[in-house]
Amino acid sequence: MEPSAPGNLRCFSKKKRDLTKPVNVFHSTGDGMNAYMAYKVSTQTTLPMFRSKMFTVRRRFSDFLGLYEKLLDKHAQSGYIVPPPPEKSIMGMTKVKVGKEDNSSAEFVEKRRAALERYLQRVVCHPSLLQDPDVREFLERDDMPRAHSTQALSGAGFLKMINRATDAVSKMTIKMNESDVWFEDKLLEVEAEDQQLRKLHIMVESLVGHRKELSVNTAGFAKSVAMLGSSEDNTALSRALSQLAEVEDKMEQLHQDQAASDSFCLAELLADYIRLLGSVRASFDQRMKTWQRWQDAQNMLQKKRETEAKLLWANKPDKLQQAKDEITEWEAKVTQYEKDFDRVSSTVRKEVLRFEKEKARDFKKQIIKYLESLLQSQQQVEFWTLVCIHNRLFHTFF
């Protein structure tokens, strides 16, 4: 059973290249807890670095996590914002594995599929990450070795590990001499936005819950009104009540659709960006680390110079040469680390600007999609209410 992906996310780029990546789902034939969901990743491209123009591979969820870990290992230190995959969810997956064929598991599978698709889209839209051979291998290679290390750590677990390390760094009372106020302000902005997005996400989830509840209660009400209509002995009123019951039935469906839209368009978008903001903060922390390393090197150089001075005073010529060598070594390191810091700073800055542009595009697109679905719902409401007014109520009563 291969449901088709409802929509491909295209990645905007100034270069004339085409890289589309729908992610489809198909179930494997394992049983019980050993069963796993395999995802069909299809790529269409004109880029010369790939072996063919169209190809499909099967990947498991842990493979996606494995890709993320590899990219993180290689690129995080340079200050890149490495897009994070969706979190592992023991609850969700267990229900699906146990073969629970109900709405909530279908919803979960679809949400995960779409989230994985968006994840890959973000990776390939990143000009530097796309060049990484691991990315190419992930998209192309038919048989990939299982990513075992991810069994211990979910994507979220990994992120948490990073955040904890960076928190430790910030807790060391380093006062960066912020020559560039931009970074300080930007970080505050990111943290404030993160806080608000989390709040918003909780509220949207609450809305989804209440709309689902409304849908169920509307269905109950519709049945009740139908019963009332059938026992009403005035024929005209009885017909009007049956009509009301029919309309409420339609409303039930509309509420459900609206809840799905709230969830898929809004809640998922917010969840993505909450995770992404985590990656942004991680990149800021990387910059902090490189600064720290540079400072530490400068301190070490200072110590070596002091040692040299002491040796000169004590007149120990044999140890003096070693001291001079160490000074040269550390001078080189200081220069290198300063260059690294500048490089990482500039990368982080570029990355943040690119991220913000992408975020604005993403939000605009999703918000338009969401509002259009709301519009459609309301048009349905208008239609059914008009039917109610013009058809039954007028004819039976007036």
Partner 1 sequence: FLSYLLFGHGINVDLQTDATLQVDISDALSERDKVKFTVHTKSTLPNFKQNEFSVVRQHEEFIWLHDSFVENEEYAGYIIPPAPPRPDFDASREKLQKLGEGEGSMTKEEFTKMKQELEAEYLAIFKKTVAMHEVFLCRVAAHPVLRKDLNFHVFLEYNQDLSVRGKNKREKMEDFFKNVVKSADGVLVAGVKDVDDFFEHEKTFLLEYHNRVKDASAKSDRMIRSHKSAADDINRIASTLYTLGTQDSTDVCKYWTKLFPLFSKLSKIEARVAADEDLKLADLLKYYLRESQAAKDLLYRRGRALVDYENANKALDKARAKNKDVLQAETSQQVCCQKFEKISESAKQELIDFKTRRVAAFRKNLVELAELELKHAKGNLQLLQSCLGVLKGDT
Q: Which stretch binds partner 1 (CB under 8 A): 66-74, 85-93, 129-137, 236-244?
A: 236-244
Taking CB under 8 A as the rule, does residue 265 contact partner 1? Answer: no
- Beta carbon of residue 390, minimum distance to partner 1 (angstroms, whole number): 10
Verify binding: residue 191, partner 1, rule CB under 8 A.
Answer: no
Tokens of 358: 């992408």
Q: Applying CB under 8 A, does 12 fall inside the site for partner 1?
A: no
For residues 21 and 10, is the Cβ–Cβ distance under 8 A?
no
192 binds partner 1 (CB under 8 A): yes
169 binds partner 1 (CB under 8 A): no
Contact 308, 324 (CB under 8 A): yes
Nearest distance from C-beta of residue 185 to partner 1, angstroms = 9
Q: How far is CA 30 from CA 107, 215, 287, 337, in A?
A: 21, 36, 45, 51
Query: Among the candidate windows 67-75, 110-118, 131-139, 388-396, which touches partner 1 by CB under 8 A?
Result: 388-396
Residue 187 as a binder of partner 1 (CB under 8 A): the answer is no
Determine if 13 is a binding residue for partner 1 (CB under 8 A).
Answer: no
**Binding map of partner 1 across residues 194-233, x = CB under 8 A, - = no contact:** --xx-xx--xx-xx--xx-xx--xx-xx-xxx-xx--xxx
- Among 130, 124, 115, 42, smallest CA distance to 85 is for 115
Between CA 83 and CA 306 the distance in angstroms is: 45
CB-wise, 53 or 361, nearer to partner 1?
361
> Which residue's structure tokens are 């290198």?
336
Question: Which residue, among 395, 7, 63, 349, has the nearest Cα to 239 in the 3D structure?
Answer: 395
* Best CA proximity match to 183, nearest among 283, 257, 91, 108: 283
Q: How far apart are CA 251 and CA 232, in angstroms?
A: 23
User: Which string of DSSP letters, residue by residue, matches 139-201?
Assistant: HH-SSPPP-GGGGT--HHHHHHHHHHHHHHHHHS------S-HHHHHHHHHHHHHHHHHHHHH
Nearer to partner 1, 28 or 224 (CB): 224
Kindly report the length of the chain.
398
Can residue 182 be called a binding residue for partner 1 (CB under 8 A)?
A: no
| 379 interacts with partner 1 by CB under 8 A | yes
Question: Which residue ranges make up the site for partner 1 (CB under 8 A)?
Answer: 189, 192-193, 196-197, 199-200, 203-204, 206-207, 210-211, 213-214, 217-218, 220-221, 223-225, 227-228, 231-234, 236-237, 240-241, 244, 356-357, 359-360, 363-364, 367-368, 371-372, 374-375, 378-379, 381-382, 385-386, 388-389, 393, 397
